[in-house]
Amino acid sequence: IPVDQFDLVIFGGTGDLARRKILPGLFRRFCAGQMPPDARIIGAARSDLDSAGYRQMIREAIAEFGGEQACGDEQLDAFLAQLEYVTIDALGEAGWSELQKLMEGSDRIEAYYFSVAPSLFGDIAERLQKWGMADTRARIVVEKPFGRDLETARALNKTLATYFNEDQIYRIDHYLGKETVQNLMAVRFGNMLFEPLWNSQYVDHIQITVAETVGVGGRGEYYDKSGAMRDMVQNHLMQLLCLIAMEPPARFDPDAVRDEKLKVIRALDPVLAHHIVRGQYQAEPCNEAENPGYRTAVDNPRSRTESFIALRTEISNWRWAGTPFYLRTGKRMAARSSEITVVFKDTPHSIFGDEAGSHRNVLSIRLQPNEGITLGVTIKEPGPGGMRLIDVPLDMSFAETLDPEDIEHVDAYERLIMDVIRGNQTLFMRGDEVEAAWAWTDPIINGWVTRNDVPKPYDHGTTGPTDAEDMIRRDGRKWRKIT
């Protein structure tokens, strides 16, 4: 279904994110017939280009990052014809009157995507207002990181609130745009089966793992000031935890969902020092030039920033008290894998005796790769060998169950940008949510700063420091295998 007519201005339209994700994503929406033919996309950045030069840049970006679903050359030409470009200075006056002229008299949906460094968000918001583009129809999309602690997030919220209402601000967390994340809500709240069991009486514990095989790459300078806690846990893992743990919202609408997520964050227990393990990856043996260790990669031989973190927390409310949540994320790990696992408790009594072994139901929600949901159930091992039990998966992998022709694969960014145009904020973070997440994160970070905590080294291609295994083993549990 095509969205309404829109003008989308992309500040930072020549940057890495715009070229790799935003523009190729918009092109795929164009190919799918979702982008109206007269919609305009206006790149606005520092580079000295004209619209023809910008179209050429985006033609090359789509060739490189467009993906297999992109359509033919004719369609590409038609899409590029909808692009314009303005050279603009977020910190000065250059380019703003030109942008104002382009937007003047428009009666369409106006969206401004801030795909620039967060230090420029306030300057751009201020200039949008100064040049008459911040009226109540405007929507702004802001990228992560949203602050680096509670104080900076509050200041940023305050600045944006000077120019825009909360219902105009779309804070992106692309994890929320993933198909399986929405499917998680469908599985939880669209079935009678799971919800009665979704509490500490039946759930032993929950694990959330986001493992990457890549290192810090070219982002070393930024990453070293941030680390896994700020870069991944405070936003992505926290959002996944909220969706898994929240109460059923009354409706699937933005504020109903976000109110419930906020309650989860506010109920999170502080994390004890012995419930956190931080790590830093080592160089790949015999291949140090290609895969250097973390400190070399960030060019800081004394860095104490973590590229891995594992922690245990609990949610102090009636539903979850007593159920641990284990969160783990890291770089240069054994496999690229994002998964949420709900491990149910043992049956209260085994009628099959000790020989049958103990078996647990495990619901695993995979975000990448191979998105899908699997429920492990216990059955009798087929054959004449008596009552021996085995676990088999009940698989809800979309790829295998649904006709591939019927599945339209939509990248998280594509989905979220279309949601901005539709005016649907359900999958975007609200200001108070972000602040609550920092309020939980700050004492953890301050704790290890005070203790002068040094991250534990871990080998390239592993599951992180062995201390992380020990932490969960002390509770009589183990991490899921990273595959």
Name the segment binding ligand NAD (CB under 6 A); options: 41-49, 305-313, 419-427, 437-445: 41-49
Q: Is 58 in the site for ligand NAD (CB under 6 A)?
A: no
Question: Quick check: 379 binds ligand NAD (CB under 6 A)?
Answer: no
Report, in Å, the least distance between residue 47 CB and ligand NAD: 5
Instruction: Tell me if 18 is assigned to a ligand binding site.
Output: yes
Binding mask 5-24 for ligand NAD (x = CB under 6 A): -------xxxxxxx------
Stretch near ligand NAD under the rule CB under 6 A, chosen from 44-52, 148-156, 318-326, 365-373: 44-52
For position 118 contacting ligand NAD by CB under 6 A, the verdict is yes
Check binding of 324 to ligand NAD (CB under 6 A): no
- Write down the least CB distance from residue 175 to ligand NAD, Å: 11
Binder to ligand NAD among 3, 9, 23, 116 (CB under 6 A)? 116
Comparison of 52 and 407: residue with beta carbon closer to ligand NAD = 52
Of residues 235 and 313, the one with the C-beta less far from ligand NAD: 235
The residue within the footprint of ligand NAD, chosen from 39, 82, 83, 115 (CB under 6 A), is: 115
Residue 236 falls in the annotated catalytic set: yes
Of 110, 143, 179, 414, the residue at the interface with ligand NAD (CB under 6 A) is 143
Residue 17, annotated as binding a ligand? yes
Question: For ligand NAD, which is the closer residue by CB, 141 or 315?
Answer: 141
Distance in angstroms (rounded) separating the CA atoms of residues 305 and 427: 30
- 330 labelled as ligand-binding? no
Q: Rounded to the nearest 10 degrees, how much is the dihedral formed by the CA atoms of 271, 275, 280, 284?
A: -140
> Nearest distance from residue 19's CB to ligand NAD, in Å?
8
Q: Under the criterion CB under 6 A, does residue 47 sit at the interface with ligand NAD?
A: yes
Question: Least Å distance between CB 78 and ligand NAD?
Answer: 24
Which of 236/275 has CB closer to ligand NAD?
Answer: 236
Measured from each CB, the residue nearest to ligand NAD is: 15
- Pick between residue 144 and residue 266 the one whose CB is nearest to ligand NAD: 144
* Cis omega (within 30 of 0) for bond into 457: no
What binding mask, one character per residue, do residues 65-94 give for ligand NAD by CB under 6 A, x or -?
Answer: -----------------------xxxx---
The binding site consists of 12-19, 46, 144, 174, 178, 212, 231, 331
Annotated binding-site members for substrate: 174, 178, 212, 231, 331
Q: Contact residues for ligand NAD (CB under 6 A)?
A: 12-18, 45-47, 88-91, 115-118, 120, 143-145
Q: Any idea which residues carry the catalytic annotation?
A: 236
